Amino acid sequence: MRAIAPLLLIVPLMGCSLTDLQLAADEWAPAPGAAQASGIAPREACAHHDPLRRPLFGDLHIHTGYSMDARALGTTTTPDDAYRFALGEPIDVFSGEPGSPQTARIDRPLDFAAVTDHAEWLSEVRLCTDPASDVYNTRSCKIFRGEESSWITRLLGLNEGFIPKLFGLLQLDGKRSEEVCGEDSARCRTALRTVWQDTKDSAERFYDRSSACRFTTFHAWEYSRSPRMTKIHRNVILRNELSPEIPISSMETGHERNLWPKLRDLCNATGTGCEAIAIPHNPNLSNGRMFEVWYREESEEMQRAEAALRAAFEPIVEMTQIKGDSECRNGMFEVLGGTDELCDHEKARDFSGLELIDCEEGAEWGAQRSKGCISRVDYVRYALLSGIREEKRIGVNPFKFGFIGSTDNHMATPGQVEEWEQPYKFGATGKNVLTIGGATRGPAFWNPGGLAGVWAEENSRDAIFDAMKRREAFATSGPRIVPRFFGGWDLPEDLCQTGNLVETGYAEGVPMGSDLPAHDGPGAPTLVMNALRDPGTQDHPGGLLQRMQVIKGWVDDEGRFHQQVFDVAGDANNGADLDMDSCTPRGPGAEQLCAVWKDPEFDPDRDAVYYARTVENPSCRWTTRMCNAWEGDVLPDACTDPRLPKIIQERAWTSPIWYTAS
C-alpha cells in the first residue's frame, strides 16, 4: 500500500505547483484534436446596434450538476436549466433537503451567460450518474454517489462531502480511475466528448440568432487547478461554437502556464476562427499564486514571451464573486498610501477568525481551508501594480486586465445576486445557511456574488467577446449600476453638463480598458466618469448612489506599491443610513453621479493606473435580512457572530486606464 500523504499532493484540486512539486500531467493519448473549420452558423443582424455601445449584464461563472463538486453535494440541474433561469424562467433547485426542491427565479433576465462546469471529471460524473453506463455499478461509482465509502476516507475520517466522493474517481497516483475510465482512458474520453457536446448543444439552443438578439450564450468551461487547496482557477470562454475536441483541464497540464500554449495550439492558432480567453477568478484565495511571477529564472527573451502570452489570453479578471471581494486589502506588504476603508468589503479570509500572515514577496498554500499566508497580489489592485513593475523590468505587462464580476454559483442559477435571499452556492435551508458552528467558510460567510458588465454595440457573441478583449468591461457586486469611464488629454471640463459625454469620450479620448495615448505636452490627463444607479424592481428597489471615486496606483523606484483614493463626486457623509429592524434605507442619495477630474499629483515620468469605483448608500447584508425574519425562539449563531457585517455598501468598478511615461 502506498503512503497516504503523496495522494493528498496529487489530486488536481489539491495538487502541487511548478514552484514546489509540479502536478504530474495525465495526458490523453492520442492528444486532443484541435478546432476544425466547420463553419460558424449564420445569424440575423441585430435590430438594436449602437455604435456608442450599450451596457449588457451577464454571468460568466456558472456550474450545473455536470460539475463534480456540485453533483456530489446534490445539484442535478443542467445547462438547459441554467440558461432558462438566466432568461427569467423558474427552475427547481436543490434545497439541501433531498426530495424537497425549491423554486428559484431571477429578478430580471440577463443579457448573456456561460456555463463553466469544471473540466476535471466531467466524463466520470456522467459515467457514474447514468444508470445505462457500463460502469454505473462499479465500486468507484458507488463511492462517488455516496453509496459506499473508500478505505482512505474511513482512514482519514473524512465526513460526507465532495472530497470523500472524489476518491472514487481517482487512483492513488492521482490519475483517472481505471475502473471507471478503462486502462487506456478511452471510455472517459468518449464520455467527455459526449458531455462536452451536450454542453455545447445547450449553448446553441439558447443563443438568440434572431434580429431581437435577446440573449447570448458562450461555450465555456472551468480549468480548476487548486494545489493544496489554493485556488488558481480560470474560466475559458470561446468566441463562438468552434472549439477543441474536448476541454483542457488541470489534469492534462500540471500547471496553468501550460494552459495558454494548449489554448493557442488547439484553438487560437488553428486559423479556423476558434478563439479563447481565460479569466482568472477570485484570486483572494490563491495564497499569492494566481499572479505569481514564476519565470524570473529564465532568459529575458523567454520571460517576455511568457508574459506576453499570458497578457494575450487573460484580458479580464474576476473582481468579485460568492467567495468574496478581490479588489484590495489594507495593511499589505510595501503598499503605501494610507487606509482605504472600502477595502473591507466581503473579505473571505477575515471570516476565519485566524491570524493572517502576510506573504510579503512569497507564496504559500491552503487558502480554501483558511491556511497559509495572504499576499497583496491576491487582490486585483496590487496585481495591476505588479504588472507595472514587470513592465519596467522586462518591457511586458503580464497583468494588464479589465474587471468583471460573476457568481461561481453551483446550482445553475446565473445572476442570482439579490441580497434579499440566501446565496445559491449550494443548496441549503434557512437554518443551515445561518448556522456557523465554528466553520471558517460556512454558507453565512458567502455573499450572493457579482455581475459581469460590458459595453458592446449589440448583444451578440462577437460584440461581447470583443468588449472583453479590449477590456471595455466592468464589475458590480450585484446591482446593475451602469458606470462609464474615459480618459484623454484635452477632454472638456464641462462634459457632465453638455449631454455629449460619450460621443466626446470616444472621439477625443479612450474608454475604460485602454492606454492613454502618448502625449508630449504639459499637464495631467483628464478622466471623465459617469454612473447611473440600479433602479431595481418594484418589489426590490435599488439603492441610491453615495459617491464616486478614482483609484490611482503606481510603483516607486524601489519597487514599492502606492495607492491613492480620490472622492470625485457625491458625499461619503451624506447622512444616509438604515432602519436596521426593517432594512429600510433613509436619507439622501443620487440617481446619477458624474465628474471630470485631473490628477493633482500627476508625474509625467511615472507610469500609473486609474480606475473608477462607484458606491451605493448603506444597505442590509442578506444575513441581516434573514435574521430579521427569523421566527424561532433562538437566533442562529450567524445572527450574533461579530465576524459577519450587518451592513454593506454595494459597488461597481470600471476597468482601468493606464498611463505609460514616454
Cα separation, 311 vs 66, in Å, equals 30
In which residue ranges of the chain is pLDDT below 50?
1-22
Cα separation, 399 vs 390, in Å, equals 9
Which class for 193: exposed (0-12), middle (13-18), buried (19 or more C-beta within 10 A)? middle
Number of helical (H) and strand (E) elements in the chain, helices listed first: 17, 27
Cα separation, 222 vs 280, in Å, equals 10
CB 577 within 8 A of CB 567: no
Q: What is the dihedral of CA 460, 462, 467, 469, to 10 degrees?
A: 150
Alpha-helical runs (H) found in 87-185: 122-129, 139-144, 151-156, 162-166, 178-181
Query: For 258, what's the count of Cα atoms within 13 Å in the CB-facing half-sphere?
Result: 17
pLDDT value of position 4? 37
Dihedral sign for Cα 14, 16, 19, 25, please.
negative
Task: Please state the pTM of the whole predicted model.
Answer: 0.95
pLDDT value of position 16? 33
* The total number of residues written for the chain in this structure: 662
pLDDT value of position 24? 59
Cell 453621479 sits on residue: 593
Q: In what order do the strands lie in the sheet with 276-280?
A: 220-223, 234-238, 276-280
pLDDT value of position 192? 98
Phi/psi of residue 16, each to 5°?
-115, 165
CB 321 within 8 A of CB 405: yes
Cα separation, 34 vs 414, in Å, equals 30
Strands 234-238 and 324-325: unpaired
DSSP state of 649: -
Would you call 348 helix, strand, or coil by DSSP? helix
Cα separation, 411 vs 449, in Å, equals 13
Per-residue pLDDT of 625-657, as tens digits, reads 999 998 888 888 889 888 889 999 999 999 999
Strands 561-570 and 545-555: antiparallel
pLDDT value of position 173? 65
Residue type, 342: L
Q: HEC profile for 600-625?
A: CCCCCCCCEEEEEEEEECCEECHHHH
pLDDT value of position 556? 97
Cα separation, 79 vs 88, in Å, equals 15
Residues whose CB falls within 8 Å of the CB of residue 285, separated by 6 or more in sequence, listed in order: 230, 231, 323, 324, 348, 349, 367, 368, 378
pLDDT value of position 529? 98
Cell 449631454 sits on residue: 499
Cα separation, 218 vs 465, in Å, equals 9
Cα separation, 579 vs 600, in Å, equals 39
pLDDT value of position 13? 37
Per-residue pLDDT of 476-511, as tens digits, reads 999 999 999 999 999 999 999 999 999 999 999 999
Q: Of 322, 432, 351, 348, whose CA–CA distance to 74 is shortest?
A: 432
DSSP state of 457: S
Cα separation, 18 vs 23, in Å, equals 8
pLDDT value of position 22? 46
CA 561 from chain centre, in angstroms, equals 24
CB 339 within 8 A of CB 313: no
pLDDT value of position 302? 97
Which class for 600: exposed (0-12), middle (13-18), buried (19 or more C-beta within 10 A)? exposed
